[in-house]
A and B are shown apart, each in its own frame.
Chain A
Amino acid sequence: MRAPLSWIKDYVDLDGISIEELAHRLTMAGLEIEEITFVGLPLPPGDKHDFKVEGIEWARDKIVVAEVREVGPHPNADRLTLCRLHDGDGEHTVLTGAPNLFPYKGQGPLDPPLKVAYAREGTTLYDGHAEGWQLMTLKKALIRGVESYSMVCSEKELGISEEHEGILFLPEDAPTGIPLADYMGDAVLDIAITPNIARNANILGVAREIAALFERELKQPDTAFKAEGSPVAGQFKIQIENPELNPRFVAGLIRDVKIQPSPGWVQRRLRLAGQRPINNIVDVTNYVMLDIGQPLHAFDYDELMRRAGGKPPTLITRTAKKGEKLTTLDEVEHPLQDFTVLVADTKGSHSIAGIMGGLDTEVTEKTTNVLLEGANWNFINIRQTLGYLKMNSEASYRFSRGVHPALAPRGVGRGLELMRQWAGGTVCEGLVDEYPQPYADPTTELTAEDVRRWLGIDLAAKDIAAILARLGFATRVKGEVVSATAPDHRVDISADPVIGKADLLEEIARIYGYDNIPETRLADVLPPQRNNAALEFEEGVRDLLVRQGLQEIITYRLTSPEREDKRLPPGVAPDPKPYVTLKNPISPDRFAMRKSMLASMLEILERNARLRARLAFFEIGFVYHDSESGPLPDEKPRLVIAITGPRDLPNWQSAEPELLDYYDLKGIAEALLEGLHLTGIRYEPGQHPSFHPGKQARVLAGERQLGTLGELHPAVHGQHDLGPAPVLVATFALDALMAAAPPRHEMREVPAFPPVLEDLAFIVDEALPAGQVQALIEQTGGSTLAGVRLFDVYRGEQLGKGKKSLAYALTYQAADRTLTDDEVAKLRKKIIGRLERELGAALRA
């Protein structure tokens, strides 16, 4: 919403309020000033402002009101003229090519003289000839043999509009010699209007807020019109079919208007407010909408008569019929849905209610009689229609946010009067006003206690009433209770007494000033304090991985099946469970919620592959699986780890670096699981298609699979732009990890008696997993065998083909005594015996 200060001043006196103060108070009260465009008024001092500053100021000593007393020819150029101009101090000869001065050329002294904006040497203005808004400074120059040092300005040069066809003419009574900034300097506030204050999307609304904030009087708009024509009754009728959707319809009639451009000041106001002037009739509808907030529509009355066969027309508001279509002003044909409300007549529909008028009945240059509509529409219904039409107009912006029906007759009254003033003609007496569904302005009760309880400030009932009165509420104080009836320009106060109370509390806080409400600390009862076990576990996992030197990443959770399928080798069918997919994706490669963390991880590895040889990442996040039990998917927490590249970071000493392999990743996984105090973990060969078939393990706690780890399948590796080093990946179900982790763990006593250390090596079949050997040793050794650690795997000719030697460092230790040689020897014999019998192992001498 662009609000020129000069226009706001129609309704509230701004004397003594600086632009900065005004902008600050409005912003703090919820009318955020996003930008101020200065059109002549002095720019605020300094660089620090609450708002963005645009535009220029008109130097008071350099740009003044002047009068052109005579327009003469240029001796050397037909398209230029020389003006004899008086700027209050003296006469100047000004050279210009403005086409709108040509008619005066050679007419001798002008009476009355033409009032213009005159810029002296050294003035900074916009360059009228440049594209966009370029500043330039007036310098002395010789143009076709005539010296030029000053100029008469166009609107564009002054920053008022893009108009540069001719120079700006000022009214005859503009006082010659006064600074132009004093005469018509302006600034335009660009205000962000949130949906709850849509009532302020007009000049009067902004002025009302200013009046309330600064405790000034609000002048009411003049909505009376001078009617000298025959009564309107009988000249047309209005018929509302659905009062729910069209609560009110008001119309008036003006005859014998002359379509022409609006007065200059009107055009300037409209342009400053961001509206393009069209002609006086259309401009009135826009002006009134911007002025007081009621959108209007002007019909060509004679065209309506023609459609009605020469009889007084009947305007009918109704919903669209099945298959009905309508061509709007912009010459676009719209297919309509059956809930859309139309303004029609006996011949057919001609406009989409509240959104856009129709082509057939619009005002043209030939129009002489105008029927002016000011209606009220159901804002939800308007929104539904906008939803499928994908249209936008200033009218629909307002109607889709709610307009009070009381504005309709005011808008039509004001519109008719302005048409009379700007277009001539005679207004017919009276209005036709169909108001089948009157709006009840709610009365809400609230007390000083409500204000204290909700806002934390102590206000007396009379002070509360006074604040609300400043916003136009009709208030009554009875003891502690304030009853406030909402003014008839706003529809945002709920009729629900509790919600209505909150609505009023917001208004009280805004006008009282958020700044003035003291800061306090919560003194309310502290709720039961609860841990968030899942989050704590997740954060614990993060810490365990960070401590191992891994970098955390966070990736997009939106993906596509194509992206995710790259985690599988060619020919492997992805799991057929459906994705959660978007109806309205913003990018064609991100329309589904991910089912795999691995795919996201591979994307990030790819992105970094050329940047670092060694990468070590992890991510904790969710995957999304369509649920069988309801419409909402399951969101499952997952962990993915990936490492690749040299084992050590590059440094100046290292020779040929060794590459990270399966056992590095397994070490990370083991440290993680140990840090979580998980016990009884098994690693068994796995069959996950994304992994190397021979280099992957399922991680099991009991029979429950916690995750998978291994080397990325070379075929999958090949589908990605990765370096040659193997990529090691682990995925874990975080919820399974959490379920397997003990809530607490007990300390093992630190041994007080010396251990007996011994190395034993066994020759076993190549195919026998080392894990089985270790498990059997541990099981046989029982509590006396405090530790078993594999320290060597050896293969050699003397062992025989298909054999390997596994060497273990054993630690025998008892918690309560020093072990005797005899005890150790017995246990050793038992271990060797079982390994020989059950695994076919032979002790290596």
Chain B
Amino acid sequence: MDTLKQLDQIEKDGLAALAAASDEEALAAWRTAHLGRKSGLMAAFDGMKDLTKEERPLVGRRANEVKQALESALEKKQSALRMAALEASLSGEHLDVSLPGRAQPLGRLHPVNQTLRRIYAIFAEMGFQVYRSREVESDDYNFTFLNIPAHHPARDMWDTFHTDREGVILRTHTSPGQIHAMREYCPETIRVILPGMVYRYEQVTTRSEMQFNQVEGLAVGPNITFGDLKGTLTDFARRLFNPQVRTRFRASHFPFTEPSAEMDVECFVCMGDGCSVCKGTGWLEILGSGMVHPTVLRAGGYDPEQVSGFAFGMGPERITMLLHRITDIRHFWRNDVRFLEQF
């Protein structure tokens, strides 16, 4: 079968010629020569009418095969040429990838509010919800109901801002919220944390501020023990600082709790070995706590013979300072962007 042999030749020639073509122009010429109307392949199709009935399908199939082979080879070649051309053009486009990116403004919460959110989240999971109350308070809520009667020695523990209205002060701690919460929720059991700004008549120095945040906690119920206080606060410290941190509870005094305790946390800077942050003691004073004083339970409407409770209080600024080794508390309200941008 000559025709079949011719077709083999046509395919072979065509592929060979294609391999030699190296640009779009050559490809167009090749297309005319090998797939065009005057090409050998078309002549083969044209010649089919002269073939026998038996030969015709064989030749027809082969001719189509050749046509497809040439066309697909052309496509491949074309795409290879285009890629080569693109690569050639890209090779001239180089960025200095080390140049800085176009800066995007990054919003940030104030560092103290970042700490507050962490505290909220940890206590929320232990069933403590946030309860807020006013900052300008009555003397009764800030002191008297908290077992700090007028002229009591314990009043010396707070340097108070008095307003020009008799009996109205700036709260010295968030503890008045304990009374507000108890009076609102009595006789239910209670687990709340009480965050907010408090005020002290104190000279502003690197270590003390006249305005700062506090977070108090209060749990009241029929079966709450000093052991629960220790467990809850140790869990808190482990989540805030690190899972291995050790705590210790020292006897202390607050008029609104009895027994009262200071919780120290093992210094996470030196891991308890002693450093400048913990003043060589290996411990950091983190919060004050204690069992709610019977007088306070009574002021809140509860019977201390039936329920007990614990309360605690901490300073988010102090915790933020410890966590980030901030040595000057005045940074917080100064709001210098060079400080704020670091958090």
Contact = CB atoms under 8 A, between A and B. Distances in A.
A457 B304 contact: no
A581 B164 CA distance: 6
Nearest to A382: B151
Contacts of B341: 551
A515 B249 contact: yes
A603 to B, nearest CB: 9
B65 interface: no
A534 B132 contact: yes
B293 interface: yes
A546 B108 contact: yes
A527 B190 contact: yes
Interface stretch (B9-17, B44-52, B72-80, B219-227): B219-227
Interface stretch (A108-116, A472-480, A564-572, A604-612): A604-612
25 contacts: A380-B152, A400-B153, A499-B293, A506-B251, A506-B258, A514-B261, A517-B226, A517-B227, A520-B225, A522-B224, A522-B231, A523-B223, A528-B188, A529-B129, A542-B113, A545-B107, A549-B106, A554-B113, A586-B161, A586-B203, A587-B204, A614-B105, A631-B165, A633-B136, A652-B100
A30 interface: yes
Contacts of B308: 453-454
A402 B282 CA distance: 35
What 7 pairs between A and B have smallest CB-CB spacing? Answer: A456-B227, A456-B225, A30-B251, A549-B105, A48-B274, A546-B107, A194-B253
Given A52-B279, A556-B211, 17 more contacts: A28-B250, A47-B280, A49-B274, A195-B154, A455-B259, A509-B226, A522-B127, A525-B189, A527-B127, A532-B129, A546-B107, A550-B105, A607-B336, A624-B135, A632-B134, A632-B138, A635-B135
A56 to B, nearest CB: 18
A584 B199 CA distance: 12
A529 B336 CA distance: 39
Interface of A: 27-30, 32, 47-52, 194-198, 379-380, 383-384, 387, 400-402, 452-457, 496, 498-499, 501-503, 505-506, 509-510, 514-515, 517-532, 534-535, 539, 542, 545-558, 580-587, 590, 593, 604, 607-608, 611-612, 614-617, 622, 624, 631-633, 635, 648-653
Given A47-B280, A582-B162, A611 B338 contact: yes
Contact of A506 (B157, B165, B191, B259): B259
Interface string B303-343: 01100100000000000000000000000111111101100
A616 B104 CA distance: 12
Contacts of B5: none
Given A506-B259, A524-B219, A551-B108, A586 B335 contact: no
Contact of B230 (A197, A401, A506, A520): A520
A587 B205 CA distance: 13
A456 B197 CA distance: 33
Nearest to A545: B107
Given A524-B189, A530-B129, A585-B161, A624 B249 contact: no
Nearest to A548: B107
A231 B342 CA distance: 79
Contacts of B188: 527-528
B164 A502 contact: no
Nearest to B137: A632
A379 to B, nearest CB: 7
Contacts of B23: none
B286 to A, nearest CB: 15
Contact of B258 (A52, A505, A593, A616): A505
Given A530-B129, A554-B112, A582 B164 contact: yes
B25 interface: no
B295 interface: yes
Contacts of A586: 161, 201-204, 210
B148 to A, nearest CB: 10
Nearest to B274: A48
B241 interface: no
B283 interface: yes
A616 B127 contact: no
B136 A558 contact: no
A524 B211 contact: no
B110 interface: yes
Contacts of B131: 532
A611 B252 contact: no
B109 A542 contact: yes
A598 B196 CA distance: 21
Contact of A522 (B130, B219, B255, B258): B219
Interface of B: 99-100, 102-110, 112-113, 117, 126-127, 129-132, 134-138, 151-154, 156-157, 161-165, 167-168, 170, 185, 188-191, 197, 199, 201-204, 210-211, 219, 221-228, 230-232, 234-235, 248-253, 255, 258-261, 273-274, 279-283, 291, 293-295, 304-305, 308, 332-338, 340-341
B250 to A, nearest CB: 5
Given A30-B252, A380-B151, A582-B163, A502 B107 contact: no
Contact of A551 (B100, B210, B337): B337
Contact of B259 (A509, A612, A652): A509
A553 B110 contact: yes
B262 to A, nearest CB: 8
B329 to A, nearest CB: 12
Contacts of A608: 335-337
B274 A47 contact: yes
Given A552-B113, A554-B110, A558-B211, A616 B153 contact: no
B197 A546 contact: no
A526 B127 contact: yes
B232 to A, nearest CB: 6
A526 B281 CA distance: 38
Contacts of A452: 225
B189 A455 contact: no
Contacts of A624: 135-136
B189 A632 contact: no
A624 B135 CA distance: 10
A514 B185 contact: no
Given A194-B253, A549-B104, A522 B126 contact: yes
Contacts of A532: 129-132
A519 B253 contact: no
B261 A197 contact: no
Nearest to A454: B308
Given A522-B224, A608-B335, A48 B273 contact: yes
A529 B127 contact: yes
A194 B261 CA distance: 12
Nearest to A507: B259
Contacts of B201: 584, 586
A586 B161 CA distance: 8
A583 B165 CA distance: 8
Contacts of B221: 524-525, 527
Nearest to A197: B253
Contacts of A593: 136, 170
Nearest to A593: B136
A502 B99 contact: no
B291 A502 contact: yes
Given A29-B251, A49-B281, A604 B227 contact: no
Contact of B251 (A28, A48, A539, A632): A28
A728 B210 CA distance: 30
Contact of A521 (B102, B231, B295): B231
Contacts of A29: 251
Nearest to A527: B189
Nearest to B248: A515
A385 to B, nearest CB: 10
A586 B162 CA distance: 11
A555 B333 contact: yes
Contacts of A614: 105
Given A510-B259, A607-B336, A590 B210 contact: yes
Contact of A557 (B105, B197, B258, B279): B197
A398 B50 CA distance: 134
